């Protein structure tokens, strides 16, 4: 029997959650996605450091201001890595906007346009680029503007149903609802509960989002993310897409038991409700302690890793 990774690819689009080119070559996913944490990890590997040097050299040729050079170098590095990933996968690559812009719609739009311009300068087919944005209210509104301009977006750090619904109503191309980080929160807050298999609250969250989107015929793609174990992946087999770390890709590749498809699209659809208001979105987020905490924590961590990345680049200026 074929491995569970091969079985999964037959029912779900598999995305590599890494900036490691060798891992992508090994597991041959359809798409790839990165974030500041993954880029930071990648350039600390010696063989990827030349990309950082190239980014700094380019930035120095385009600005005399040190702070601006560092910012430009960080953007250029993300695009250089993204372009290399595109040479390895046949599908899409997600590149993330600076997390420090998560509460500024216009600044997010401006940064997204800068990234797309950099990709064009690399000679990349920008229809294969997804701009990755934190799913705050401001991030969702930025995505709505970008999608209207033909720039497709990946709304990330989705922990609450309110976030997912707002993204779909804004016409986002794709969302990344997190699984493992939801599980982390519930395990920390209830040490006695059984969260295995279908009882995993992260699995339940993505399942609910997927079923709601299919019921109301939203075109937004659901891409489960942030997995802690292959059981979570097995429970979401059939989801539109799943973005998986090299470690778990390896585990799936080494497992050859039958894989059952758990999610299937609804055969009958119903009219979607009226779109959420900003007030309703913020209230639902306020009432969801897990989502509020994990969204803030995720943005802070990405911002911190962005700052660490910029420190490494600053040393090369």
Q: Which CATH class is domain 4-314?
A: alpha beta
176 Cβ neighbours under 8 A, 6+ residues apart: 33, 132, 154, 155, 156, 157, 158, 223, 224, 225, 226, 243
pTM: 0.95
Choose the catalytic residue: 72, 132, 214, 294: 132
201-215 vs 180-189: helix axis angle to the nearest 10? Answer: 130
pLDDT of residue 84: 92
pLDDT of residue 266: 87
pLDDT of residue 48: 84
- Our answer to whether residue 120 is catalytic in this structure is no
pLDDT of residue 18: 87
pLDDT of residue 42: 87
Evaluate the CA torsion angle 218, 220, 224, 225 in order and state its sign: negative
Provide the residue-wise pLDDT of the chain in tens; the chain has 317 residues. 799 999 999 999 999 998 888 888 899 999 998 889 889 998 888 888 999 999 999 999 999 999 999 999 999 999 999 999 999 999 999 999 999 999 999 999 999 999 999 999 999 999 999 999 999 999 999 999 999 999 999 999 999 999 999 999 999 999 999 999 999 999 999 999 999 999 999 999 999 999 999 999 999 999 999 999 999 999 999 999 999 999 999 999 999 999 999 999 988 999 999 999 999 999 999 999 999 999 999 999 999 999 999 999 999 99
pLDDT of residue 21: 84
Q: What is the residue extent of each domain of the chain? A: 4-314
Distance CA 312, CA 317 (A): 9
């Amino acid at each position: 029997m074929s491995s569970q990774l091969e079985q999964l690819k037959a029912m779900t689009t598999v995305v590599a959650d890494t900036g490691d080119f060798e891992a992508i070559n090994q597991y041959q996913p359809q798409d790839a996605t990165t974030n500041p944490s993954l880029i930071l990890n990648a350039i600390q590997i010696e063989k990827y450091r030349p990309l950082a040097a190239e980014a700094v050299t380019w930035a120095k040729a385009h600005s005399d201001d040190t702070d601006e050079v560092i910012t430009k170098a960080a953007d250029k590095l993300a695009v250089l890595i993204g372009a290399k990933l595109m040479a390895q996968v046949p599908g899409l690559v997600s590149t993330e906007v600076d997390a420090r812009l998560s509460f500024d719609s216009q600044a997010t739009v401006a940064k997204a346009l800068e990234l797309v311009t950099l990709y064009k300068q690399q000679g990349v087919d920008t229809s294969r680029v997804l701009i990755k944005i934190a799913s705050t209210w401001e991030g969702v509104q930025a995505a709505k503007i970008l999608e209207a301009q033909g720039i497709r977006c990946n709304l990330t750090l989705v922990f609450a149903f309110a976030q997912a619904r707002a993204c779909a109503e804004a016409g986002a191309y794709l969302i990344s609802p997190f699984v493992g980080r939801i599980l982390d929160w519930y395990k920390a807050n209830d040490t006695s509960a059984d969260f295995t298999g279908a009882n995993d609250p992260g699995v339940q969250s993505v399942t609910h989002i997927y079923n709601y989107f299919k019921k109301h015929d939203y075109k937004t793609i659901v891409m489960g993310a942030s997995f802690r174990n292959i059981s979570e992946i097995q429970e979401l087999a059939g989801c539109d897409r799943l973005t998986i770390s090299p470690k778990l890709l390896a585990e799936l590749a080494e497992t050859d038991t039958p894989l059952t498809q758990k999610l299937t699209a609804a055969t009958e659809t119903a009219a979607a409700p009226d779109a959420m208001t900003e007030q309703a979105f913020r209230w639902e987020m306020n009432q969801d302690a897990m989502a509020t905490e994990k969204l803030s924590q995720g943005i802070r961590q990405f911002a911190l890793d962005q700052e660490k990345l910029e420190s490494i680049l600053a040393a090369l200026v």
